[in-house]
Amino acid sequence: MQIQWYPGHMTKAVRNMEEDIKLIDLVIEICDARIVSSSRNPEVDRIFGGKDRIVLFNKADLADPLVTDEWIAECKKQGIFAAAVDARQKKSLNILNSLIDKATEKKRARDQKRGIRPRSVRTIVVGIPNSGKSTFINSYAGAARAKTGNKPGVTKGKQWIRPNKRLELLDTPGILWPKFEDDSVGMHLACVGSIRDEVFEVRQLVMELMEIVVSEYPDSLKDTYSITETGAEFLEVFADSRHIIKKGGEPDYDRVCHMLLTDFRSGKWGRISLERLQRS
Ligand code: G4P
């Protein structure tokens, strides 16, 4: 099934980003550590051409740390510089400066050979909606951003922030669109809130989410809600025990499912990754 969800304003955002790419040396790609494959655009290599790149597995605080470690190890194998972060925590971004140095090492050496004077690295942050791009820019460069914004006239043209001497960051993140023809990718994106819930029927979404969680993290739902039933029975017991009912006394499954989704997204079910690295 081809899911129609791509909002019109994204076409413009993508065109703008393609323009911005020409100005930059380094791309910081933010993906969601809980759904690493689905939150990366498969065309990312085409879009960014030969630019140096860092991949940040964001929301690592919500993801299974063992699974995240496997993704990072795989990136290392492929020569991609990557780290797990929680973009809300400035401290967790400390690793970034050394990653930037490593990712731009070759370019710096090339420039030096050609007699080009070292200059700060121009960077853009990109990622799919809700991956944490704005949160990252705020945590990493918030203070510099505030300073820039206060100077008169700085709103003209491109807004660059200077978080430190070695870096210039484009203030507007690039929005990548997730691409999927496969239902399960769309489901995963909806589970973490990167595409609108309404793309799927909420009950179907929650049933599929629970199925993955029960098979990969069998104690998670039991520990969170003290309910041992699974699937449709779980929903029934949940609605009944919490009196989530409609006027006529029927269980209100829509409300139940929205509550469960909110709990999952905020980490109440524990640290869960919906996608593991597939080993060939
Ligand atoms: P975007 O620009 O890529 O669209 O994403 P944005 O920064 O707006 O972040 C989307 C949501 O994800 C925000 O929550 C943000 O707080 C949360 N978030 C970002 N990074 C992390 C992270 O590393 N860990 C966790 N747990 N959450 C993160 P929100 O509910 O939309 O808003 P609010 O909670 O900030 O009010």
Verify whether ligand 1 is closer than 6 Å to residue 251 (CB atom). Answer: no
In this structure, what is the dihedral angle of CA atoms 59, 64, 66, 70, given to the nearest 10 degrees?
-60
Please choose from 32, 39, 130, 133 the residue to mutate so as to test ligand 1's pocket, defined by most ligand atoms within 8 A of CB: 130
In this structure, what is the dihedral angle of CA atoms 208, 212, 215, 217, given to the nearest 10 degrees?
-130
Verify whether ligand 1 is closer than 6 Å to residue 127 (CB atom). Answer: yes
8 A C-beta contact, residue 232 and residue 260: no
Q: Which atom of ligand 1 has the smallest separation from the CA of 135?
A: 7
Cα separation, 24 vs 174, in Å, equals 12
Tell me how far the alpha carbon of residue 50 lies from the centroid of ligand 1, in angstroms.
Answer: 29
Tell me how far the alpha carbon of residue 88 lies from the centroid of ligand 1, in angstroms.
Answer: 8
8 A C-beta contact, residue 134 and residue 124: no
Q: For the residues 27-46, what does the mean pLDDT come to? A: 89
Please choose, from the candidates 150, 151, 146, 145, the residue with its C-alpha nearest in 3D space to the C-alpha of residue 168.
145
Q: In DSSP terms, which residues pair with 174 in a beta bridge?
A: 126
Verify whether ligand 1 is closer than 6 Å to residue 134 (CB atom). Answer: yes
Which pLDDT value is given to residue 157? 67
Please choose, from the candidates 144, 256, 130, 266, the residue with its C-alpha nearest in 3D space to the C-alpha of residue 205.
256
Q: Which atom of ligand 1 has the smallest separation from the CA of 62?
A: 26
Verify whether ligand 1 is closer than 6 Å to residue 41 (CB atom). Answer: no
pLDDT in tens, 240-256: 999 999 989 899 999 99
Going by alpha carbons, the residue nearest to atom 26 of ligand 1 is 59
Verify whether ligand 1 is closer than 6 Å to residue 139 (CB atom). Answer: no
Verify whether ligand 1 is closer than 6 Å to residue 271 (CB atom). Answer: no
Q: What is the DSSP letter of 205?
A: H
Confidence grade of residue 174 (pLDDT, cut at 50, 70, 90): confident
Q: Which atom of ligand 1 has the smallest separation from the CA of 267?
A: 26
Residue carrying structure tokens 């100077």 = 151
Q: For the residues 117-139, what does the mean pLDDT come to? A: 92
pLDDT at 166 over 50: yes
pTM: 0.91
pLDDT in tens, 88-118: 999 999 999 999 999 999 888 988 899 988 8
Tokens of 253: 């499954």
DSSP-derived 3-state class of residue 57: strand
Q: Which has the higher per-residue pLDDT, 80 or 264?
A: 264
Antiparallel, parallel or unpaired: β 81-84 and 121-127: unpaired
Going by alpha carbons, the residue nearest to atom 24 of ligand 1 is 59
Q: Which has the higher per-residue pLDDT, 142 or 94?
A: 94
What residues contact residue 234 under an 8 Å CB cut-off, 6+ apart? 210, 221, 227
Q: Which atom of ligand 1 has the smallest separation from the CA of 175?
A: 3
Which pLDDT value is given to residue 7? 59
Please choose from 30, 135, 145 the residue to mutate so as to test ligand 1's pocket, defined by most ligand atoms within 8 A of CB: 135
Cα separation, 246 vs 229, in Å, equals 22
Please choose, from the candidates 245, 265, 135, the residue with its C-alpha nearest in 3D space to the C-alpha of residue 193.
265
Tell me how far the alpha carbon of residue 212 lies from the centroid of ligand 1, in angstroms.
Answer: 23
Q: Which has the higher per-residue pLDDT, 232 or 200?
A: 232
